[in-house]
Amino acid sequence: MRILMLVYNQTGKGTYWRAMGFAQGLARKGHNVVVVSTSPTARLRVTTRKEGLVQLIESPDLLFGPLRSGWDLWNVQARIRFLKELSFDIVHAFETRPVVIWPALAVTRKKNVKLVLDWADWFGRGGAVEERPNPLIRNIVRPVETFFETHYRLQTDYTTVINSYLRQKALACGVPAESIHILHNGSNVAFKPIDMHIARQQSGLPNKPRIIGFVGGTYHQDARFMALAYNQVLSHNPNVKLLLVGYFNRPIENWVIRPETIIRTGPLSLNAIYTYLSACDICWLPLRDSGANRGRLPFKLNDYMTVARPTVATDVGDLRMIVEQNRLGVIARPNIDDFAKHTLELLQNPAQIRAMGLSARKAAETVFSWNKLATKLEGIYLKILANRC
């Protein structure tokens, strides 16, 4: 099959990794896959290169930094112009911001190509837009995000969603149940787990203290939740450190009682991220019970599976089902006291940490392998094409 995948994200950020994981899995099965993402730097020209087995097209964008997030009309036009000469059997649009949905519709309407829409984040009213701290920006962006997120849901042949909550949202938009399929994120099993002590030597981290790992950024209120839970952990066990792996976007040191116990790595390569996570005893996924968190399934969980470390997560969205079915770690109620309590209990049980870590890695290699998920997606595509025939 000739498959086009469109993401609004800049290369190497956010949903780019979801699309690229599926793309590489499908390419390994012999399909011709093209992924279009937003260039982190280019402003005028489209650039192309191979990323593994996948053809990566990076479109230019006139905006700056985090504003390069799917709204630029120059980006839209550049994609449409570049893609008009190419032929595809399937277009898979990841989210529905303008730089994704408008080029996707241009390709599918002109050439009678089948369209699949992916929904992996709830951006609109009640979702991630409510996490914006500036009320003026929040009120301006809310109706725009809501329109693009919901308006195009019926203009598709199939819908993939990341969790059951977004499945219900799609049903509420009128999407037929038989055309919706839940597809989780996959794990990068090319990285082989490293012994914790070896990882600490390689990373220059101290060998004795317990280390809790957290990768990437988070919402402001979730960071405060994490800080307050960490305060409770420290009050019971002062020999614990919190390791923030990669870029972390909140001033969490302002909210903890002992900021000197927090270690920030700053931005890292992917292999370095996995090495630092391997240096941790356990990993954290503290999410408040909010619309934004119910409408997503963070990649962090897959990163923790990759390095064979157990996760302490809150009972939000599909997390309880996924964590408990696959023995990935422990689930706490989405409140600070219970989250800290489960963390302390797990830190005191090395045998449980090891067993859950091994189980997490096994799940990464089986249930959450990109090859297995790509096989599921391949089946969806073949079904769509069979119906067309």
Backbone angles phi, psi at 158, to 5 degrees: -155, 155
pTM, to two decimals: 0.94
pLDDT of residue 117: 98
CA distances in angstroms from 164 to 51, 88, 183, 305, listed in the order given: 31, 29, 10, 21
How far apart CA 133 and CA 347 sit, in angstroms, is: 34
What pairs with residue 57 in β-bridges? Answer: 36, 48
For 19-56, the pLDDT digits (tens) are 999 999 999 999 999 999 999 999 999 999 999 999 99
For 182-226, the pLDDT digits (tens) are 999 999 999 999 999 999 999 999 999 999 999 999 999 999 999
How far apart CA 385 and CA 183 sit, in angstroms, is: 19
**Which residues, including other chains, have CB under 8 Å from residue 8's CB and lie 6 or more apart?**
15, 38, 69, 70, 94, 95, 97, 99, 100
Give 101's DSSP letter.
H
pLDDT of residue 389: 54
- In the chain, the amino acid numbered 29 is K
What pairs with residue 332 in β-bridges? Answer: 314
pLDDT of residue 86: 93
For 70-117, the pLDDT digits (tens) are 999 999 999 999 999 899 999 999 999 999 999 999 999 877 799 999
How far apart CA 31 and CA 328 sit, in angstroms, is: 32
- In the chain, the amino acid numbered 332 is A
CATH number of 2-120+152-186+369-388: 3.40.50.2000
Q: Is the pLDDT of residue 173 over 60?
A: yes
pLDDT of residue 295: 96
Task: Write out the residue limits of the CATH 3.40.50.2000 domain(s) in the chain.
Answer: 2-120+152-186+369-388, 196-365
For 327-340, the pLDDT digits (tens) are 999 999 999 999 99
Instruction: Give me the chain's average pLDDT, please.
Output: 96
The third-level CATH classification (topology) of the domain covering 196-365 is Rossmann fold (3.40.50)
Residue in the structure block whose two tokens are 């914006």? 132
- In the chain, the amino acid numbered 167 is R
